[in-house]
């Protein structure tokens, strides 16, 4: 295998990795938005978050 082939293979692998990372980032972003929407519609989640924030504030003091 020549150097040109090696560089071409490496470039193709890097391109595939970039596409995979972009897809993962997109999924994470969508999941974060979905969780935020669910949190806003579920009052128990917001109460728990408020309690966690109060605990962290008291711990900092």
pLDDT at position 31: 87
Tens digits of residue pLDDT in 1-52: 689 999 999 999 999 999 999 999 999 988 887 766 666 666 565 566 677 7
Is residue 43 a contact partner of residue 33, using CB atoms and an 8 Å limit? no
Amino acid 1: pLDDT: 66
Q: Give me the helices (H) in the chain, please.
A: 3-41, 43-60
CA distance 14 to 46: 41
């Amino acid at each position: 295998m020549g150097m040109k082939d090696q560089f071409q293979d490496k470039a193709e692998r890097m391109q595939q990795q970039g596409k995979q990372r972009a897809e993962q980032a997109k999924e994470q972003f969508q999941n974060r938005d979905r969780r935020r929407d669910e949190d806003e519609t579920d009052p128990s989640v917001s109460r728990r978050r408020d309690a966690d924030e109060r605990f962290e504030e008291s711990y900092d003091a």
